[in-house]
Structures are given as structure tokens and as C-alpha cells.
Chain A
């Protein structure tokens, strides 16, 4: 079945580029140019994924994300200008799953869309085991296996990896990770996060300066990438 992407963007050239891309990659799509129309279209068409530009003519894209999050778990990808880190973080914190900065490459957009659609399809089942390209994590036995070899992780490293793997291909903000892994009240303790990500990378990545699993989203957070089909 074809997936339907809902494009919410008021800039006609960006919209055109996205529409051409989706035709090429065999997605069906619907488009809205403002918030009000977007909400109506969303409720009537029930799309599989949303691409939302943060600056819309009749209001903030974040409000739209909040409204949609109240009624649906559909993946939402935010489109934003490069220097809007604060805006991106705010959008992720109100429920967006991922973001793409302008100017973007078409390949990147398609890759992100596919990853987010995939994540959504496995999201519903409660998982006790996460597997991703040679890396396996078992929630019950707390075993982590990399290419057949059992890894020794500290309890916090395990919790961190578990949170990453259960949210694979989703951009997580620093605040979200700190709150989830360390607890409420730790959301500004960046030194813990940086240190543990560094340590975890040394254990699971082949080359920790060019990581394949835990990608840094500079100024925003981290993303665990997983490309299994």
C-alpha cells in the first residue's frame, strides 16, 4: 500500500520540490498551506506521516504539532531554517519526531521519511528485545550483544542504550534523554549525557569519531540510526 505524506508548507518552491520527490519515490501526498487547512485535511485524510514547516502564515507550527499529538501518534517531521535550534528543540519537545533543516537534500528527506514510517509500524508492540545491524539488546536479561560478543555496560549505559534503541531513528533532545534516563531534575546536567554517550560510543561504534549508531544532532540532541529493512 502507498503511504500518504501530508506536506504542510507555505513556500511554493519547497512544496513543489517535495511533491516532485514524493511522486518520484512513489508516495502519495496531500498538501496544506496553512494551519487551519492542515488540521481539516489531517482529520479527513488520515495521512501516514506529516512534514510541517514551523513558520506558517496563520500561526506557529508548534501549536499544530501539539493539537495533532493530542489525537494521534502519527510521525511528524519538522522543516526548519538552519539557525533555529531553539525552535527545533521546542518542536521536538512538544511531540515532533524528527527534523530536517533547509536547505535539505532530497535523499535525506526520503531517508528520514522511510525511517520514521518504519519506526511507526513496529511502535505498537511492546518489545523486550531490540535488534539493529549486529547490535542486540535484551530488556529482561539486560544483555547487550555486538556482532556475537557480549558487551559489559554499566547500568546507566544500558538504560541510555535502551532508550536510544526503543526510539530508533527519532531525534531525541538533550532534555528528553536526561529526563528519561537520569530522571526529572537532571535535564540540564549535560556533562552526564556527553560523558556517557562518549563512553557508550567507545563500546558499540567501530570508530567513535565517525559513529554509525549514535549520531549527534548538533545543538539539539542525539539520534539512534538503524537502517534494517
Chain B
């Protein structure tokens, strides 16, 4: 039922335009003697405009075709046939197409602008909220250290300094993500494809984190050949996945990473145990950042996972989050499109 409604919403405007076309046909038919053929032709452009403002080229041309069909059948001599004898009318049809085309292009431009504005707004939200959290930690800790220097013992002081350090690392990662997201969301980004070694990428990603005990991580990597992809983006992908896993994993539980070679695709699995899992939310965990309806829910991790999705999509792959054994499993499939030839 839900999917039916969603589909209906998508083609809603087309149905509206069809309705308008029918009304127009009735009106034109009733007043055909008062309205000249030129006015009848002009009002037939209305349904075309109604469709064109949605910026979908195919739909626009479908509507143009329909309008012309109605016109030529009902009003253009010879009546009640699809043939047209006066070539002047062919020109009219062409003008129909051009008007529809121009409006569609304009609508498309406006649409991308609107999307960019939405993105900018949610970025602002993140900047104001998520950058402020670590910043307030830094600010507060520094004030504490500055104000009563003598009373703080070394252990407490070091503790505060560590907090400052951690907060600044968080801020840096968030800034990288914000920069990436504007780059990725513009859509026409060129991948810098090269041979990537996932073992190397994981090593680089782990260097980003201050891992106290190596025991927390279990990493299983298949004997892999090189993967043809964007090294910087894939590194960012793994960093964001680790970031998420570290943030939401329960204390004293393990994070398990598997990279499996499945012949025509690479399977990356990352699992962490978690206190609380909302299965509904898992479904759109990767869209959180772009979905504006729940802006209260946007957080730094939202942007990180949304970037993961963009990166995976750019590589032609799939990403999903599943609840499993009291934890969250994120699965990524990356298709192998090219194999390295060695000497």
C-alpha cells in the first residue's frame, strides 16, 4: 500500500496534466466556433507546461505528443484523422516541443539549485550543532586549566588535555567530511581511479584513531588482489565506518571487520555490538543527513554515513545496515571492474 502511494505521488503531476487536457478538450469542443484554432492550440500548451515544470524530459515529451495528438485529431483539418495537410501546423507542433524543452531545462536548473540550498542548510545545521559540541569541550577544559592552575593535580590536568585533544580530532574529521560532502553531493565528481590495496587502506584508516588496545579490533582480510577504485575516497569510507563503529560499540566488546573476495565483487563487513538498535532507523541510516524531515536527528555521524553511501554508489556498489546478534552489521559490496596485470 505504501509503495503504491509513493508511486502515485511520483506521477501525480502527470495525472493532473491529463485531467487538464481532458477539461481543455471538453471546453474547446463546446466553444469551438467561438474560439479560433489558434486559441485552441494555445490552450493545449497548458498541460505541457504543467508537466514541464517538474523537470522531467521524458514526461514533458510524452505530454507534448499527447497534446499534439488531440489537436491534430480533433481540430486540425482534416478533422478526426491524424494526418495534417497544411505544413504550417507542423511548425506549430515544433514550437510546442521547443517551449516544453526550454521550460523543462529551466525547471531542472532550479531543482538542482533547490537541492543545493537544502544541502547548504543542513550543512549549516551541522556546523552550528556538531562543531559546537567538541568546541565547547575545548573551551570549557581550557578555561578550567587556565582558571585554577594550582589546584589541578597532574592526573586531572592530563585528563582535560586528552579531552581537548580528542575533541579537536573530532572537529578535524568533521571538517574533512563537510568538505567531502559538498564535493560528493555536486554529483559530477571525477573519480581518481587507481590500484588500491585494502590492507593498506585499513592501516591508514586505523592510524586516524587513538586505539588504546589492539584487542578491540578483529580484522580478517582475504588474500586480495588490488582493487581499481579511488584510493582517497575508499580510505574516507573506511575511516567513517570505523568512526561509526567506535562511537556506537559497547564497552569491552569487539569490532569485527571482514574483507572477502567474492570473485566479481568485494564484500566488506563491519560489525559492532550496540546498546540499542532501532530497526526502523537502520533502514535509512545512510540517508539521515539528506532527509530534511527529521532535522533534529542530524548529527555528525549522519553526515559520515551519508558520505559512505555516496562513495559506495560512485563505485557502483551497494551498502546496507542490518541488525544482527545484538549489534549492527554494515555490509558493502563493491563490484570488481578491472583486475591488475602484474609482470
Known contacts A82-B176, A192-B342, A195-B342; is-contact A218 B197 (Cβ 8 Å): no
Judge whether A198 is part of the interface by a CB distance below 8 angstroms: yes
Q: Tell me, in angstroms, the Cα distance from A192 to B199 when the chains sit together.
A: 15
Known contacts A103-B172, A218-B231, A218-B232; is-contact A210 B199 (Cβ 8 Å): no
Known contacts A82-B176, A192-B343, A197-B197; is-contact A209 B226 (Cβ 8 Å): no
Is B195's CB under 8 angstroms from A191's CB? yes
Query: Which residues of B lie under 8 Å from residue A195 when comparing CB positions?
Result: 197, 226, 340, 342
- Write the nearest CB–CB distance from A198 to chain B, whole angstroms: 5
Q: Tell me, in angstroms, the Cα distance from A31 to B111 when the chains sit together.
A: 52
- Write the nearest CB–CB distance from A21 to chain B, whole angstroms: 16
Query: Which residues of A lie under 8 Å from residue B195 when comparing CB positions?
Result: 190-191, 194
Is A209's CB under 8 angstroms from B196's CB? no
Q: Tell me, in angstroms, the Cα distance from A219 to B214 when the chains sit together.
A: 25
Query: Which residues of B lie under 8 Å from residue A201 when comparing CB positions?
Result: 199
Q: Tell me, in angstroms, the Cα distance from A216 to B198 when the chains sit together.
A: 12
Known contacts A191-B342, A194-B200, A198-B200; is-contact A210 B235 (Cβ 8 Å): no
- Write the nearest CB–CB distance from A153 to chain B, whole angstroms: 16
Q: Tell me, in angstroms, the Cα distance from A85 to B168 when the chains sit together.
A: 22
Query: Which residues of A lie under 8 Å from residue B337 when comparing CB positions?
Result: none
Judge whether A83 is part of the interface by a CB distance below 8 angstroms: yes
Is B197's CB under 8 angstroms from A198's CB? yes
Choose, from B11-19, B77-85, B202-210, B321-329, the stretch at the interface. Answer: B202-210
Chain A 82-103 interface 0/1 with B at a Cβ cutoff of 8 Å (1 = within)? 1101000000000000000001
Is B203's CB under 8 angstroms from A209's CB? yes
Is B200's CB under 8 angstroms from A197's CB? yes
Is B194's CB under 8 angstroms from A190's CB? yes
Q: Which of B194, B203, B342 has the most CB of A within 10 A?
A: B203
Judge whether A211 is part of the interface by a CB distance below 8 angstroms: yes
Judge whether B219 is part of the interface by a CB distance below 8 angstroms: yes
Q: Tell me, in angstroms, the Cα distance from A191 to B193 when the chains sit together.
A: 12
Query: Which residues of B lie under 8 Å from residue A85 when comparing CB positions?
Result: 232
- Write the nearest CB–CB distance from B207 to chain A, whole angstroms: 8
CB-contacts of B292-343 with A (<8 A): 340-343
Interface size (A, Cβ < 8 Å)?
Answer: 19
Interface size class of B (residues with CB under 8 A): 20 to 34
CB-contacts of A183-229 with B (<8 A): 190-192, 194-195, 197-198, 201, 208-211, 216, 218-219
Query: Which residues of B lie under 8 Å from residue A198 when comparing CB positions?
Result: 197, 199-200
Query: Which residues of A lie under 8 Å from residue B26 when comparing CB positions?
Result: none
Is A191's CB under 8 angstroms from B340's CB? yes
Which of A83, A103, A191, A216 contacts B204 (CB under 8 A)?
A: A216
Judge whether B94 is part of the interface by a CB distance below 8 angstroms: no
Which of B179, B202, B340 contacts A209 (CB under 8 A)?
A: B202
CB-contacts of A61-95 with B (<8 A): 82-83, 85
Q: Tell me, in angstroms, the Cα distance from A36 to B194 when the chains sit together.
A: 39
Is A218's CB under 8 angstroms from B202's CB? no
Known contacts A218-B204, A218-B235; is-contact A209 B221 (Cβ 8 Å): yes
Q: Tell me, in angstroms, the Cα distance from A208 to B220 when the chains sit together.
A: 12
Q: Which of B168, B194, B341 has the most CB of A within 10 A?
A: B194
Q: Tell me, in angstroms, the Cα distance from A208 to B200 when the chains sit together.
A: 8
Chain B 206-238 interface 0/1 with A at a Cβ cutoff of 8 Å (1 = within)? 100000001000010100001000011001000
CB-contacts of B173-201 with A (<8 A): 176, 179, 194-197, 199-200
Closest to B183 in A: A83
Chain A 135-179 interface 0/1 with B at a Cβ cutoff of 8 Å (1 = within)? 000000000000000000000000000000000000000000000
- Write the nearest CB–CB distance from B189 to chain A, whole angstroms: 14
Closest to B171 in A: A103
- Write the nearest CB–CB distance from A17 to chain B, whole angstroms: 14
Closest to B224 in A: A198
Q: Tell me, in angstroms, the Cα distance from A190 to B226 when the chains sit together.
A: 10
Query: Which residues of A lie under 8 Å from residue B203 when comparing CB positions?
Result: 208-211, 216
Query: Which residues of A lie under 8 Å from residue B226 when comparing CB positions?
Result: 191, 194-195
Is B341's CB under 8 angstroms from A191's CB? yes
Q: Tell me, in angstroms, the Cα distance from A191 to B219 when the chains sit together.
A: 23
Q: Tell me, in angstroms, the Cα distance from A85 to B340 when the chains sit together.
A: 24
Known contacts A194-B197, A197-B200; is-contact A219 B231 (Cβ 8 Å): yes
Query: Which residues of B lie under 8 Å from residue A192 when comparing CB positions?
Result: 342-343
Q: Tell me, in angstroms, the Cα distance from A210 to B206 when the chains sit together.
A: 8
Task: Apart from A191-B340, A209-B202, A210-B203, list 14 A-B contacts with CB within 8 A.
Answer: A191-B342, A194-B226, A195-B226, A197-B197, A198-B199, A198-B200, A201-B199, A208-B199, A208-B203, A209-B199, A209-B206, A216-B200, A216-B203, A218-B231
Q: Could you jot down 12 A-B contacts, CB within 8 Å?
A: A83-B179, A103-B168, A191-B195, A192-B342, A194-B196, A194-B200, A198-B200, A208-B199, A209-B199, A209-B203, A218-B204, A218-B235
10 residue pairs, one from A and one from B, having the closest CB atoms: A191-B340, A191-B195, A194-B197, A190-B195, A218-B204, A209-B203, A216-B204, A194-B195, A209-B202, A198-B197
